[in-house]
Amino acid sequence: MNQADIENMIQGYVAAEKAVLEGKSITFNGQSMTMESLSEIRKGRAYWERRLSDLIASRRGRPMYKVARFP
C-alpha cells in the first residue's frame, strides 16, 4: 500500500470513531459497529497510524527498530 491508501484508511477509522461517539451505528469494511466496537475501531486506527509511521521512516532511510547502547 502506498501513503495515500494508508491515509485513506486512517481517515475512514477517524470517521467511524466520530460516528460511533455520536451514538450512530455504522458499517465499516462490511461490519456493523456500535459503541461497543469503539475499542476495535481505535485498535484499527492505531494499526494504520503505525503503518504510516513505518512507511515514512523507511523512506527517510531510518531503520524501523530502535537500538539501545549500554556503556
Report whether 28 contacts 41 (CB < 8 A): yes
- When pLDDT is cut at 50, 70 and 90, the band that residue 65 belongs to is low
- The predicted model gives 11-26 an average pLDDT of 83
Predicted confidence at residue 57, as pLDDT, reads: 84
Distance, in Å, from the CA atom of 13 to the CA atom of 40, rounded to the nearest integer, reads 10
Distance, in Å, from the CA atom of 10 to the CA atom of 47, rounded to the nearest integer, reads 9
